[in-house]
Amino acid sequence: MNEFEKMNNENEFNSEINHSVENDVTLTEEEMADAVNVEAVPVEEAEKTEPETVVSENINFVQQPVQNYEEPAARVSYNVKKKKPGIKRYIALAVVAGFVNVAVVGALFFAGYKVGTSDVGGRNKENVLSVLQQQPEKHNSENNTTETANKGAELSTVEISKKVGPAVVGITSKISNTISFFSSEMFSEGTGSGIIISSDGYIITNNHVVEGASAVTVTLNTGSEYEAKLIGSDAKTDLAVIKIIPEEALTVAELGDSSIVEVGEKAVAIGNPLGMEFFGSTTQGIISAINRTITVDGRTMSLIQTDAAINEGNSGGALVNAYGQVIGINAVKVSSSSVEGMGFAIPISEAKPVVEDLIKHGYVKGRPVIGISSRDVTEYMATRQGWPIGVQVMETQLGSGAEIAGLVQGDIIVKADGKEVKTTDELNKIKDTHKPGESILLEVYKYDTGLKEKVSVKLSEERPD
């Protein structure tokens, strides 16, 4: 154990290191407060705090019912893994969805069987890539019209459900959990949704739906089940592509243009809330807002907000416009006893280039990395240790530009390209203005000497583990 590690243990600063290539995950303020035994919220204020608003990704994990379930209090929680509530809560949710959110669960699903046996679009891999590469058409100022992919006659909710419902699938992810006491392996199941984008079986979904899965099964609205292969996934955008080899004709979703979506437009969400028992549910609402910045599990995304009901299990499902075109991939909801109707979807126009890269390369090309994992130095840490506020190196990747430039554990990055950086997010924003192969100039407080040095780091390309 080196001097840096001993110092951190003695002062209770040692945190779990993110062993990924890049510095995208750091301790939150709350976690750091816990590490140094400092309350994040004063007791007298905590007693007055409203019930917590929880931002969560909508993947439903099937586990044993939790008795006496209570929402966590006093902090915002970003939980991917959802515990299944008791059956009474399920029934209540189903009743509310039926009366408030115009859920079309039964009749439209079965009506979709007939549509689901036809090939809508007939796209193979090459064709689906060409569709993803299409650029939105622009506004014509001469006659004050907008020519876009979002055109045609508006459809009723029934027509939208028949058109798009068969293109939305159920996804079951089998996740292995090893119990060390007996050295035995047990499995849990997570369920989500996906959207068919090609007739030969390419399906888009959320990364958190399939992340860590040892096996993935796709269920069509016809009831057919297929094993799926992971083509590529991207945690930063929370997108993934999987593929099945179908033995029947597939209904392919028509992709719209989310860049011209306006607040107040009709929005229809299709997916599998709470798992397969509510497969193919349709809820209707409007576009509540666009370009909403939401942070979940350290990922900051710009999303479409809707009041169409989105629940656990809806992740990866379709948000559809009035023309039956997919404009978003349902991903996140805000849940609290004081919050209703706040769901969020990844804009399809922003998802297209990511999906294209995942199909072609298995990862998103062109992302620069410094080659470190890190944590933010808070004011408390800086005061106690006599350090500057900045981004502290916790580990360097072997052979990375950071290691070659001489960055070591304990060093603190205080500037990047001449701009002050206090957090990993600030450092990443500057880094992301560069391309792989370019260099970023860092000002670093050296842990060993206590002196500041300027270091040029050559950026490499981010690759999956």
CB 438, CB 460: distance < 8 Å: no
Strands 139-140 and 145-146 turn out to be: antiparallel
Highest mean predicted confidence (pLDDT) among 84-98, 269-283, 379-393? 379-393
Provide mean pLDDT across the span 323-334: 92
Q: Which residues face 439 on adjacent strands?
A: 458
pLDDT, mean over the chain? 76
Q: Considering the chain, what percentage of its residues have pLDDT values greater than 90?
A: 52
d(CA 232, CA 382): 40
Please state the rounded mean pLDDT for residues 321-337. 88
Of the two residues 28 and 224, the one the predictor is more confident about is: 224
Q: For residue range 172-200, what is the model confidence (pLDDT) as tens digits?
A: 998 876 555 555 667 788 889 999 999 99
CA angle 285, 288, 294 (to 5 degrees): 120
> Is it the case that residue 303 has pLDDT exceeding 60?
yes
User: Residue 372's closest CA among 18, 31, 16, 6?
Assistant: 18
Q: What is the pLDDT of residue 220?
A: 95
Kindly indicate the confidence band of residue 313, based on its pLDDT and cuts at 50, 70 and 90: confident
The pTM score is 0.68
Angle at 255 between CA 104 and CA 269, to 5 degrees: 25
Given a cut of 80, whether residue 282 has pLDDT beyond it is yes
pLDDT greater than 50 at residue 48: no
Active-site annotation holder among 24, 234, 238, 357: 238
Gap between the Cα atoms of 454 and 445, Å rounded: 9
| Strand, helix or coil for residue 123 | coil
Q: Is the pLDDT of residue 109 over 60?
A: no
Identify the active-site residue in 173, 208, 233, 281.
208
Find the mean pLDDT for residues 83-110: 36
Of 156, 164, 228, nearest to 192 by C-alpha is 228
Classified as helix, coil or strand, 150 is coil
Query: Cβ atoms within 10 A of the Cβ of 81, count?
Result: 15
Which DSSP helix (H) or strand (E) runs through 353?
helix 348-361
* Cβ atoms of 412 and 8 closer than 8 Å: no
Convert 265-306 into a string of H (helix), E (strand) and C (coil).
Answer: CEEEEEECCCCHHHCCEEEEEEEEEEEEEEEECCEEEEEEEE
What pLDDT was estimated at residue 388?
97
Residue 189 has a pLDDT of 81
Q: Which two tokens stand for residue 31?
A: 């976690």
pLDDT value at 3 more than 90 = no
Structure tokens at 257: 């243009």
CB count within 10 Å of CB 76 equals: 15
Q: Is 208 a catalytic residue?
A: yes
> In angstroms, how far is the first alpha carbon of the chain from the final one?
27
pLDDT of residue 167: 96
DSSP secondary structure letter of residue 251? B
The angle at the Cα of 304, spanning 232 to 423, to the nearest 5 degrees, equals 70
Percent of the chain with pLDDT over 70: 65
Annotated catalytic residue within 173, 315, 374, 460:
315
**The two structure tokens encoding residue 393:** 């190196």
* SS3 state at 33: helix
Active site residue 417: no
What does the pLDDT look like over 64-91, one tens digit per residue? 443 444 444 322 222 233 434 343 333 3
Give mean pLDDT, residues 318-328. Answer: 96
